């Protein structure tokens, strides 16, 4: 079936549109750089993480923080629980004063 | 922050813009690479001048970055918004330059397309001829034709961009096509389609 005149014109015009689509203007490097620069200048800062999260990151994340907490708890325990246990006579016998001259001799003053 | 360094091509523009507003730099790069060429091409089709189109594209993208923190998801497509802003910027320019038409020799050489030399030359000739004819169309017709036939958008989206009814868009594209056919029809021989049937 022969093509109608209108249809033929449509096909011809489409060839022009196709040519336009096939030859888009390429953005110059200067334009791309300017757009990116503007983006960097106008981009809102990423929100700061809460203090707890920042501390966690500073110590190296959860595993490191868990180790630190264990060490701290052990220190507290050693510092508080051990003296309460006291030193028995048997242990005291093993204790030697390696520098007696450095000790205060309060009795000498009286 | 737990943001991927880069995004797949299928990531919607709207999601990228939200990521940009949240401070993600990769999103800024992807949006720049994806949208700047489209904005530039649209501005060039409307203005017919490469240097001016670059200025418009830069300004349109700048406005997008400024708009990002206030962008409300689901309201409009980013590209719809950008086409509208670009068209408005072009209209402003043409209005300011009224009285002086864009010189044809300001139209730059398009980049080398992929096909062979002869075909490439013909493509370029046709694209330039179309650009010249588009420049002679009334502004609204030109915008509607470019959005429909070069950008390939559907009429409802064009209507949204242009703030017009779908019927008005159809009328504009029909009249625009008719005018283009007439303008280009007188150059059949030189444009190499006199024998095409």
pLDDT higher at B20 or A10: B20
Among A75-79, B122-126, B133-137, name the one with the lowest average pLDDT.
A75-79
B2 falls in which pLDDT band (50, 70, 90)? very low
User: Same domain, yes or no, for B48 and B84?
Assistant: yes
Q: Is residue B116 part of a domain?
A: yes
Residue B142 belongs to domain with CATH number: 1.10.10.10
Mean pLDDT of B82-94: 95
Q: Is residue B1 part of a domain?
A: no
Mean pLDDT of A10-22: 92
User: Same domain, yes or no, for B40 and B91?
Assistant: yes
pLDDT of residue B18: 93
Do B120 and B127 form a contact (C-beta atoms < 8 A)?
A: no
Report how far residue B73's alpha carbon sits from residue B150's, in angstroms, rounded to the nearest whole number: 27
- Residue of chain B minimizing CA distance to A46: B23
CA distance A13 to chain B (A): 6
Considering only CA atoms, which of B7, B19, B16, B8 is closest in space to residue B35? B16
Q: Is residue B136 part of a domain?
A: yes
Do B162 and B141 form a contact (C-beta atoms < 8 A)?
A: no
For residue B187, give the 3-state DSSP assignment. coil
User: Same domain, yes or no, for B120 and B195?
Assistant: yes
How far, in Å, are A21, A22, A63, B61 from residue B113 at the CA level?
10, 7, 56, 26
Where are the domains positioned within chain A? 5-42, 51-105
Cβ contact (<8 Å) for A24 and B41? yes
Mean pLDDT of A38-56: 76
Q: Is residue B147 part of a domain?
A: yes
Do A27 and B37 form a contact (C-beta atoms < 8 A)?
A: yes
B9 DSSP 8-state letter? T
Report how far residue B35's alpha carbon sits from residue B115's, in angstroms, rounded to the nearest whole number: 25
Report how far residue B120's alpha carbon sits from residue A19's, in angstroms, rounded to the nearest whole number: 9
User: Same domain, yes or no, for B99 and B121?
Assistant: no
- How many Cβ atoms from other residues are within 10 Å of residue A108's Cβ? 6
| Model ipTM over 0.85 | no
Cβ contact (<8 Å) for B130 and A20? yes
Domain boundary among B104, B134, B157: B104
Task: Using CB atoms, pick whichever of A31, A35, A44 lies closest to residue B69.
Answer: A44
User: Same domain, yes or no, for B66 and B121?
Assistant: no
- Residue of chain B minimizing CA distance to A22: B113
Mean pLDDT of B61-87: 93
End-to-end CA distance of chain A: 134
Do B130 and B149 form a contact (C-beta atoms < 8 A)?
A: no
User: Same domain, yes or no, for B85 and B16?
Assistant: yes
Do A76 and B54 form a contact (C-beta atoms < 8 A)?
A: no
pLDDT digits (tens, 9 = 90+) for B17-34: 999 999 999 999 999 999
pLDDT digits (tens, 9 = 90+) for B100-109: 554 444 545 5
CA distance A18 to chain B (A): 8
Q: Is residue B96 part of a domain?
A: yes
Cβ contact (<8 Å) for A22 and B113? yes
Q: Is residue B188 part of a domain?
A: yes
* Chain B residue numbers touching A28 (CB-CB < 8 A): 54
pLDDT higher at B119 or B90: B90
User: Same domain, yes or no, for B130 and B190?
Assistant: yes
* Chain A residue numbers touching B131 (CB-CB < 8 A): 20
CA distance A45 to chain B (A): 5
- A53 at B interface, C-beta within 8 A: no
pLDDT digits (tens, 9 = 90+) for B133-183: 999 999 999 999 999 999 999 999 999 999 999 999 999 999 999 999 999
Residue B93 lies in domain: 8-104
Residue B89 belongs to domain with CATH number: 1.10.1740.10
Task: Check whether B15 has a pLDDT greater than 70.
Answer: yes
pLDDT of residue B3: 45
- How many Cβ atoms from other residues are within 10 Å of residue A29's Cβ? 8
Report how far residue B89's alpha carbon sits from residue B84's, in angstroms, rounded to the nearest whole number: 9
Task: Using CB atoms, pick whichever of B28, B185, B193 lies closest to residue A40.
Answer: B28
Torsion of CA B172, B175, B178, B183, to 10 degrees: -90
């Amino acid at each position: 079936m022969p093509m109608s005149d209108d249809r033929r014109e449509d096909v011809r015009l489409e060839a022009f549109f196709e040519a336009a689509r096939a030859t888009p203007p390429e953005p110059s490097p200067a334009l791309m750089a300017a757009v990116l620069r503007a983006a960097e200048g106008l981009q809102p800062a990423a929100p700061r993480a809460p203090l707890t999260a920042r501390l966690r990151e500073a110590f190296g994340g959860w595993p490191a923080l868990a180790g630190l907490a264990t060490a701290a708890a052990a220190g507290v325990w050693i510092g508080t629980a051990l003296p309460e246990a006291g030193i028995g006579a048997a242990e005291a016998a093993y204790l030697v004063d390696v520098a007696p001259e450095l000790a205060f001799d309060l009795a000498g003053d009286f | 922050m737990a943001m991927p360094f880069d995004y797949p091509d299928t990531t919607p523009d709207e999601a990228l813009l939200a990521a940009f507003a949240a401070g993600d730099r990769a999103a800024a790069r992807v949006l720049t690479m994806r949208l700047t060429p489209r904005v530039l091409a649209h501005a060039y089709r409307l203005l017919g001048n490469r240097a001016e189109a670059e200025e418009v594209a830069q300004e349109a993208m700048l406005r997008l970055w400024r708009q990002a923190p206030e962008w409300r998801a689901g309201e409009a497509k980013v590209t719809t918004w950008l086409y509208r802003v670009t068209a408005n910027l072009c209209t402003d320019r043409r209005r300011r330059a009224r009285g002086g038409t864009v010189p044809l020799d300001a139209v730059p050489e398009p980049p080398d397309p992929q096909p062979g030399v002869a075909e490439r030359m013909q493509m370029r000739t046709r694209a330039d001829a179309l650009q010249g004819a588009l420049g002679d169309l009334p502004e609204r017709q030109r915008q509607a034709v470019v959005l429909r036939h070069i950008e390939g958008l559907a009429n409802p989206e064009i209507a949204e961009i242009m703030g017009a009814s779908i019927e008005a868009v159809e009328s504009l594209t029909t009249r625009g096509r008719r005018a283009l056919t007439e303008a280009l029809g007188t150059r059949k021989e030189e444009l190499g389609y006199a024998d095409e049937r």
